[in-house]
Amino acid sequence: MYFLPTTEHPEKKEVSSAILLTEEQTAALLKKKGSVLEDLIAQIVECGDFKGEKDQLIVVHTHGKIKPKHLMLVGLGKQEELSLERIRRASAYTIQKAKAMKLEKYGIIIPFEKMKEQDALKAVVEGIMLGEYKFTKYKTEEKPKPKVKEVTLFVKKMEYVKDIIAETQIVCEATNFVRDLQNENAYIMTTLMIEKIARDIAKEHKLKINVIDEKQLKKIGMNLLLAVGNASRTPPRLIILEYHGAGSEESIAILGKGITFDSGGLNLKPTTKIETMRMDMSGAAIVLGTLKAAAQLKLRKNLIGVIPTAENIIGSGAYKPGDVYISYSGKSVEIGNTDAEGRLILADALAYTEINLKPAKMIDFATLTGAILVTFGEYVAGMMGTDKETMKKLFDAGQQTYERVWELPLYDEYMDETKSDIADVSNLGYWPNAGPIMGAAFLKKFVQKTPWTHIDIAGTAWWDKPRHYTPKNGTGFGVRLMIEYLKNLS
Ligand code: BES
Ligand code: ZN
Ligand code: ZN
């Protein structure tokens, strides 16, 4: 999709155009007669068809009174409730409508009072690019709807406009890329495919890459990652990507759970829980998407992406409940439940990262517990860790991007509950209480000193139904959050 910014008046451009209006702006149009466009909208408002209420959308024909053939009026609701999120949503409706109308081009007017035009412009581009996404790869019978090729953005001044569009496009493309990875079949999106994609990204964006294969994993003792992946035809991997945008400055490690399919293992998941489990590599996808976007944006940061990837499947090699393994860190782990596999592969990855890569901080993304979905639904990710400063910043970045995170406590009492009778720790401590916190408590056992934040995205990574600019299934959650967080770091 091509964005064409212009300071020209929309009346004069031959392109059907959308205008986003609050209730107050809509009412004001009745009193204030101005341009032909404003008069035209006033007439529509007069007959009561449009009030500017949130989520309201109407299309009217202009009958040759102005150059654009159609006008699309989209309500933003009450002025005092106006937010970037409202603008994202309203903008998504415009592209969805334009697509339904089979428009090849349309325009959108960006006239926001009381809001920085730059922020509004970013929200508009986000709404359009994220709202346009659909995973249609396997729809062979449905004719694909023609794509909207060009969107004219009517702005007041051109300052910064091109940069904002370019940056927002990079981040939204990365988000849609994450969605593609999440939605893909588990028999295609295997551990080896994740390795290939990581190598492709490294090549294209000149990142350093190191992939530790099953032989080396065995040699160095990453026994938890090996155990989880042992029944699969595609072997586990530890993938390490490095982006150097800040010379000798310290690095931030971003880790992501990469379970390509989570059957639950021998503690097999039941029908209704198993069907979506190709999404269990969402954390890994966020790592790939974030590093790709960071490199394209040339962010002045040093990032290390770490992906432990394995398939949690059954077969003669499957690891078993009751087994004890010695982890990379040296701690012994009792397998209380083979479905709590995410914390196992992350435990080895966190320990490896801290010991060998020595980052200044670690942030991990993982679809770790069904309980976080019970807690927050699909709207908020759970956040726990030892790094108060980073958690505060991630919270703020979440408010800005609407990829929201909320901290849960990781008190000492929970640490005591990770105990096992036969090993140092169990992966099923305190079950079935405090699910998301116990996941984090287990992980914390494998982090020594490095400030660390864990984000449980089991609710936010995958949606049961579409909402606004987010489709059903893979949501791409996490990339916008991470990039916003990184950009705001001093
Ligand atoms: N991948 C699942 C968590 C999950 C559940 C993600 C629903 C997305 C939607 C994870 O590996 C898991 O199975 N966790 C168990 C942990 C339990 C056995 C301690 C769970 O949540 O039941
Ligand atoms: Zn599981
Ligand atoms: Zn899992």
pLDDT digits 0-9 by tens, 117-131: 889 999 999 999 999
Q: Transcribe 160-219 into DSSP letters.
A: THHHHHHHHHHHHHHHHHHHHHHHS-TTTS-HHHHHHHHHHHHHHHT-EEEEE-HHHHHH
**Nearest ligand to residue 310 Cα:** 3
What does the pLDDT read at residue 243?
98
Residue 280 Cβ inside 6 Å of ligand 1? The answer reads: yes
pLDDT at 343 over 80: yes
End-to-end CA distance of the chain: 33
Find the 435 Cα to ligand 3 centroid distance in Å: 13
Quick: pLDDT tens for 234-261: 999 999 999 999 988 999 999 999 999 9
Reading phi first (left if > 0) and then psi (alpha if -120 to 50, else beta), residue 260 is in alpha
Q: What is the pLDDT of residue 417?
A: 98
- The answer on pLDDT for 115 being more than 80 is no
Among the listed ranges 48-52, 291-295, 379-383, which one has the minimum average pLDDT value?
Answer: 48-52
Predicted confidence at residue 111, as pLDDT, reads 66
Instruction: State mean pLDDT over 415-419.
Output: 98
Q: Give the position, in ligand 1's atom list, of the atom nearest the Cα of 431.
A: 19
Residue 356 is encoded by which pair of tokens?
């060998």
257 is catalytic: no
CA–centroid distance, 415 to ligand 1, in Å, is 20
Query: Which position among 134, 269, 331, 487 bears the catalytic label?
Result: 269
SS3 content of the chain, % helix, strand, coil (to 5): 40, 20, 40
Going by C-alpha positions, the residue among 348, 118, 130 that lies closest to residue 229 is 348
Beta bridge partners of 366: 456
Instruction: Mark the residues whose beta carbon lies below 5 A from ion ligand 3.
Output: 259, 262, 280, 342
- 369, 463, 475, best to mutate for ligand 1 pocket (most atoms within 8 Å of CB): 369
Q: Is the CB of 339 under 6 A from ligand 1?
A: yes
CA of residue 178 to ligand 3 center, whole Å? 17
Does the pLDDT at position 31 exceed 90? no
**What is the four-CA torsion angle of 36, 40, 46, 51, rounded to 10 degrees?**
-110
Nearest CA to ligand 1 atom 17: 340
DSSP 8-class letter at 6: E
Beta bridge partners of 251: 302
Nearest ligand to the CA of 339 is 2
d(CA 201, CA 194): 11
Give the pair of three-digit tokens for residue 423.
């090993």
* Lowest-pLDDT range of 136-150, 208-222, 433-447: 136-150
Widest CA span in the chain: 81
Mean pLDDT (whole number) for 458-485: 98
Q: Residues near 191 by Cβ (< 8 Å), separated by ≥ 6?
A: 229, 232, 234, 235, 236, 237, 258, 260, 309, 310, 311
442 CA → ligand 3 middle, Å: 15
User: Is the overall model pTM greater than 0.85, yes or no?
Assistant: yes
Indicate which residue's Cα is closest to atom 14 of ligand 1. 369
Can you list the alpha helix ranges (DSSP code H) found in 282-324?
282-297
Q: Which ligand neighbours the alpha carbon of 428 most closely?
A: 1
Tell me if 406 CB under 6 Å of ligand 1. no
Segment 82-87 shows an average pLDDT of 95
With pLDDT > 90 as the criterion, what percentage of the chain qualifies? 88
Two tokens at 173? 């493309």
**pLDDT band, residue 37 (cuts 50/70/90):** confident
Q: Answer yes or no: is the C-beta of 456 below 6 A from any ligand 1 atom.
A: no
Q: In the beta sheet, which residues pair with residue 107?
A: 17, 152
Ligand 1 atom 3: the closest Cα is on which residue?
369
Ligand 1: centre distance to CA 230 (Å): 19
Distance 341 CA to ligand 2 centre (A): 5
- Nearest ligand 1 atom to the CA of 269 is 13
| Nearest Cα residue to 246 out of 208, 303, 202, 292 | 303
Say which residue, 38 or 246, is predicted with more confidence.
246
Q: Sign of the C-alpha dihedral, residues 22, 24, 25, 29?
A: positive
Catalytic site residue from 122, 257, 343, 404:
343
**Ligand 3 centroid, distance to 455 Cα (angstroms):** 14
In angstroms, rounded to a whole number, what is the distance separating the alpha carbons of residues 68 and 90? 20
- Does ligand 1 come within 6 angstroms of the Cβ of 369? yes
Is residue 334 lining ligand 1, measured as CB closer than 6 Å? no
Answer whether residue 145 shows pLDDT above 90: no
Q: Is the pLDDT of residue 378 over 70?
A: yes
The whole-angstrom separation of Cα 244 and Cα 63 is 56
What's the token pair of residue 202?
A: 């490294």
Centroid of ligand 2 to alpha carbon of 340 (angstroms):
5
The answer to whether residue 343 is catalytic is yes
Output the residue whose Cα is nearest ligand 1's atom 8: 458
Q: 268, 339, 454: which to mutate for ligand 1, most atoms within 8 A of CB?
A: 339
Which residue, among 294, 333, 315, has the nearest Cα to 421 in the 3D structure? 333
pLDDT at 113: 67
In angstroms, what is the span from residue 490 Cα to ligand 2's centroid?
Answer: 37
**pLDDT of 17:** 95
* Residue of the CA atom closest to atom 18 of ligand 1: 340
Among residues 92, 105, 89, 91, the alpha carbon closest in space to that of 148 is found at 105
Q: What percent of the chain has pLDDT over 70?
A: 99
CB 337 less than 6 A from any atom of ligand 1: yes
The bound ligand whose nearest atom lies closest to the alpha carbon of 429 is: 1
Which has more confidence, 56 or 142?
56
On the question of pLDDT at 174 being above 70, the answer is yes
321 close to ligand 1 (CB < 6 Angstrom) = no
Query: In this model, does residue 335 exceed pLDDT 80?
Result: yes
Atom of ligand 1 nearest to the CA of 312: 11
> For ligand 1, is residue 342 a contact (CB within 6 Å)?
yes
The closest-lying atom of ligand 1 relative to the alpha carbon of residue 342 is 11
